[in-house]
Structure 1
Amino acid sequence: MKKLSAIVLSLGLLANTVTANPARWQGEWPDTDFAKTSINDWSEIISGGPPKDGIPALDAPDFSAASAETRIAPREPVITVEIDGAKPRAYPIRYLTWHEIVNDTVNGRPIAVTFCPLCNSALVFDRRVAGKVLRFGVSGKLRHSDMVMYDRETQSWWQQAEGRAIVGALTGTELKHLPSWLESWADFTARHPDGLVMEEPSYNRDYGRNPYRGYDSSTKPFLYDGAQPPHGIAPLERVVRVGDRAWRLNRLAEEGEVREAGVTITWRAGQASALDAGQIGKGRDVGSIRVRDNAGRDVPHDVMFAFAFDAFWPNGTWMLGR
């Protein structure tokens, strides 16, 4: 609990478990249609501490040549996005830790690059819905310890781990999940010496510091009181989710490569955990994975904590192997 308290104090947050009762939150969200929702139990949604936009999302960030970047440590994790017709882009977790959402446009495609530290969930979505381009912000709410995003156009709430609207006019709508992956800065620059990296935002933040020091070795997730994962899997153990299937990262590290359920998942050492040491680049090695289909194409996936997979995919399949 000392580690968990340090996390809260470091962020300047208080564990506020006030439920997201529509009547209570209507003043903060006057343009959200709370009559439309897929949530059956409002007590699942709580305040994480910051108010709406208290964690500021980024819009249209600047980029520079990866070859000129000197601040990022070799093992620091970045989210890699490769879109046809554009130079590969790296979105450093050192920035997303403090901002959680980046609204960007790559070769004409509007995307949202997202990271929820409490679930270790790093996902990239297409921001287009029914011909409209959405811009996402951080609501300050959590559900099963996962970030609840919102779009500025309709003020609907979205579950980051699922990419699905759960409250408001767009309830039930799902964003297109785009292929992306977490890898070390060294791996990105080795493969893409001519690639681009997101520039440091102009906010007063201690970028590179991990405000969640020791979190992924805690025994209990922050602001989560749901069921524990099955099969004796620790709540904060990393799993690779592809659709409604999950592979334990520990298994992948042992085997190196797994071919199952129509995908090939490979693991390699060299990426630091973003949720371990005080400085992200000094975190313990958790490795990097790639997920490809039988044709060798990258497959959308997530590397998330086991408790979050179990919470959002309670009927999912655990790929435990032999």
Structure 2
Amino acid sequence: MRRFLLSAAVLLPWMAQADPAQWQREWPETDFNRTKIADWGQIRSGGVPKDGIPALDAPQFTAAAKDRRLQPREPVIALEIDGARARAYPLRYLTWHEIVNDEVAGVPVAVTYCPLCNSAMTFDRRTRAGVLSFGVTGKLRYSDMVMYDRETQSWWQQAVGAGIVGEMSGQRLASLPSWVESWEEFKARNPDGLVMAQPAYNRRYGQNPYRGYDTSDWPFLYDGTPPPHGLAPLDRVVRVGSRAWPLARLAEAGEIREAGAVLSWRAGQASALDAGALAQGRDIGSVRVRDGAGRDVAHDVMFAFAFHAFWPDGRWMLK
């Protein structure tokens, strides 16, 4: 955590308060008069400019059986769409790029990960304005990544998949079922699966720039209120729609059947936000969510503060 705070101190001079007039110079094609944001103070600079965190487009893949980089407990985002081989998007890459614009079985998708909220969501990129491609604004709202689409230059809230500024304000992306699991689990279930190849960037892939973050007392650049019910801000919860189950409750039970959902947990996945190397993070386990018919359900395993911020009227499934 000390290293994380030192990095933050270096970035702080870049973190100006919200000012749409200044943003307009960087975003001349964004219509700041169209917005769902009532208070511009909710949006803050994360310390990097537009595309300072480079999103990935049309990534390359290799056969899972041939990969020699990933360790068994490393977390990957698994995406299984009928008509295509299952794909794994390692967090060792998403931690540094946050968005992958891909196409799977003819479906244009955006695989996203916000380390500060631990939110890993996959969206269908098809909208009324056509197929969009996404990049990273460098802005945060309640510590969650604000994305933008390159076609209309609108801003989108990553955890929610909703347009918040610009032409696409008020629009929502369809969420697709995906989940974070260990590399070992993915390979065992998909021996013929694919894994995203290492991007051609100079990054310390496999290292965690947020070392110790998920055991810190408070989220980075979060100025909202703490979650209720005695939950710590960085406790993980499983979000399904507007409901949240504490991960600790699910891990103790192993399986929970409530509200039409079947939540299951198994040990073996390393936290991507704990140790200096992703593969060495403490075991937080993997979550799957299905409906009563056994079909995968779109969900997220995020921090409690983020659920509280974006679903203030959401239901906490405590017991």
State TM-score, norm by structure 1.
0.97
2: CA distance, partners of 1:131 / 1:45 = 25
| CA shift for structure 1 position 131 | 5.6
2: CA distance, partners of 1:89 / 1:20 = 38
CA RMSD, Structure 1 to Structure 2 (Å): 1.1
Find the counterpart in structure 1 of residue 239 from structure 2: 241
Q: Which amino acid aligns with 1:55?
A: I
| CA shift for structure 1 position 279 | 0.1
Distance 1:3 1:315, change over 3 A: farther
Whether the aligned pair in 1 keeps the contact of 2:226 and 2:233 (CA below 8 Å) is yes
2: CA distance, partners of 1:150 / 1:211 = 23
**Which residue, out of 116, 119, 126, partners 1:118?**
116
Q: Secondary structure at the match of 2:26?
A: coil
2: CA distance, partners of 1:123 / 1:79 = 9
| CA shift for structure 1 position 26 | 0.5
| CA shift for structure 1 position 8 | 2.6
Find the counterpart in structure 2 of residue 14 from structure 1: 12
1: CA distance, partners of 2:214 / 2:197 = 27
Q: Which amino acid aligns with 1:239?
A: V
Q: Which amino acid aligns with 2:2?
A: K
Alignment of 1:1-322 (within 5 A): 2=2, 4-8=4-8, 13-14=11-12, 16-130=14-128, 132-321=130-319
Whether the aligned pair in 2 keeps the contact of 1:4 and 1:222 (CA below 8 Å) is no
| CA shift for structure 1 position 17 | 3.9
Moved over 6 A (4+): none
2: CA distance, partners of 1:22 / 1:169 = 15
Q: Which amino acid aligns with 1:285?
A: D
2: CA distance, partners of 1:156 / 1:271 = 35
| CA shift for structure 1 position 107 | 1.2
| CA shift for structure 1 position 3 | 5.1
Post-superposition Cα deviations, 1:213-263, rounded to whole Å, max 9, x if no partner, equal 000000010001210100100000000000000000000110000000000
Q: Which amino acid aligns with 2:117?
A: C
Post-superposition Cα deviations, 1:168-227, rounded to whole Å, max 9, x if no partner, equal 001000000000000000000011010000000000001000000000000010001210
Whether the aligned pair in 2 keeps the contact of 1:211 and 1:278 (CA below 8 Å) is yes
Q: Secondary structure at the match of 2:41?
A: helix
Post-superposition Cα deviations, 1:268-293, rounded to whole Å, max 9, x if no partner, equal 00000000000000000000010000
Q: Which amino acid aligns with 2:285?
A: G
2: CA distance, partners of 1:23 / 1:302 = 34
| CA shift for structure 1 position 39 | 0.3
Whether the aligned pair in 1 keeps the contact of 2:4 and 2:209 (CA below 8 Å) is no
Post-superposition Cα deviations, 1:71-112, rounded to whole Å, max 9, x if no partner, equal 101000000000110000000000000000000001111000
2: CA distance, partners of 1:291 / 1:15 = 42
2: CA distance, partners of 1:191 / 1:7 = 38
Q: Which amino acid aligns with 2:212?
A: G
Q: Which runs of 5+ in 1 are unaligned?
A: none
Q: Secondary structure at the match of 2:12?
A: coil
Whether the aligned pair in 1 keeps the contact of 2:268 and 2:285 (CA below 8 Å) is yes
2: CA distance, partners of 1:219 / 1:173 = 34
Q: Percent identity?
A: 68
State TM-score, norm by structure 2.
0.98
Q: Secondary structure at the match of 1:26?
A: helix
Whether the aligned pair in 1 keeps the contact of 2:14 and 2:48 (CA below 8 Å) is no
2: CA distance, partners of 1:307 / 1:3 = 22
Q: Which amino acid aligns with 1:91?
A: Y
1: CA distance, partners of 2:310 / 2:222 = 13
| CA shift for structure 1 position 22 | 1.4
1: CA distance, partners of 2:102 / 2:219 = 30
| CA shift for structure 1 position 130 | 1.2
Q: Which runs of 5+ in 2 are unaligned?
A: none
